[in-house]
Amino acid sequence: MRDDLKAELVVDALAMAVTRRRPAAGLVHHSDRGSQYTSLAFGRTLRESGLVASIGSRGDAYDNAACESVISTLKVEWIKRHRYESRDQARLSISATSRRSTTRAAATPHSPASAPTSTGDVAKTDYKKGD
């Protein structure tokens, strides 16, 4: 979670995903044409991880529709329904919930991942993009 679109963000996210999931060589990583995904650093990280890049076609609104729908759902469940004092608190809470869900899903592959738990009434402000 950052408020910029620098390549470093997606490079770090990819490295974390590869470390946690250990995908087989040849896995296809699909993205849109954002500058962070077409950067030299991201391409190098994909190659070093044994992953294959796939980039959506220009102007195709349906190309990433399924992924965008999932991201929208995650934002509603993890961001908009909870209150956080800071971006760091949101990041830590979401990261911990994600790890629990991933561990649970790995143990029982056909069970749905659980929704994050509320952080309670201690929060002062809602997290919003740009905060």
Q: What is the mean pLDDT of the chain?
A: 75
Residues 6+ apart with CB under 8 A from 73: none
Alpha carbon distance 85, 122 (integer Å): 8
Residue 122 binned pLDDT confidence (cut-offs 50, 70, 90): very low
20, 39, 62, 63 from 59: Cα distances, Å: 33, 20, 9, 9
What length does the chain have?
131
Encoded tokens for 97: 């919930």
Q: What mean pLDDT comes out for the span 33-37?
A: 88
Reported as a single tens digit per residue, the pLDDT across 64-81 is 778 778 878 888 887 788
Of the given ranges (24-33, 65-74, 81-90, 94-103), which has the lowest mean pLDDT?
Answer: 94-103
- Residue 21 pLDDT: 93
Window from 3-7, 80-84, 125-129 with minimum mean pLDDT: 125-129
Q: What's at 122, amino acid-wise?
A: V
Largest CA distance in the chain: 46
Contact 81, 126 (CB under 8 A): no
The one-letter amino acid at 22: R
